[in-house]
Structure 1
Amino acid sequence: MGRVRPTHIKRAAEKLMDSYSDRFSDNFEKNKKNLENLINTDSKKVKNRVAGYITSTLSSKERS
């Protein structure tokens, strides 16, 4: 079983996907680069977790 993501990561990712859906794809590295301009946090861990959630959400939508 995978790790459970905290609610604040999911909320931030969903809000960003609603506002900037054209900037994100199923590529983690590109999503990380886009988040550097969109999120005001110094935490690398939070940026990576948000980028990972966006990536997994978009790749699962493509599969279905």
Structure 2
Amino acid sequence: MGRIKTTLVKRSAENFLDKHPDLFKTSFKENKVKLAGVGEIKSKKLRNKIAGYLTRLTKQQEKA
């Protein structure tokens, strides 16, 4: 069982994915760097959580 993501993380990740669908890939490290360039997220911890959730969403989309 994993940890539950907050609404802020989910909503932010879905907004970034809607605005930039081709930018994010299945690599956490790449998503973390790209997210730092696209979004203005001041907290490193929050940026990493959003990047991780983006990675999960992109993997789910590829699987479907």
Q: TM-score scaled by structure 2?
A: 0.92
Q: In structure 1, what is the equivalent of residue 6 of structure 2? A: 6
Identity %: 38
Q: In structure 2, what is the equivalent of residue 39 of structure 1? A: 39
Q: In structure 1, what is the equivalent of residue 54 of structure 2? A: 54
Give the structure with the higher percent helix. 1
Q: TM-score scaled by structure 1?
A: 0.92
Tell me the CA shift for residue 49 of structure 1: 0.4
Tell me the CA shift for residue 62 of structure 1: 1.6
1:14-60, Cα deviation, whole Å (9 max, x unpaired): 00000001110111111001011112122100100000000011112
CA RMSD of aligned residues (A): 0.9
1:1-21, Cα deviation, whole Å (9 max, x unpaired): 110000010000000000001
Task: Give the gaps of 5 or more residues in structure 2.
Answer: none
**Divergent runs of 4+, >4 A:** none
Q: Give the length in aligned residue pairs.
A: 64
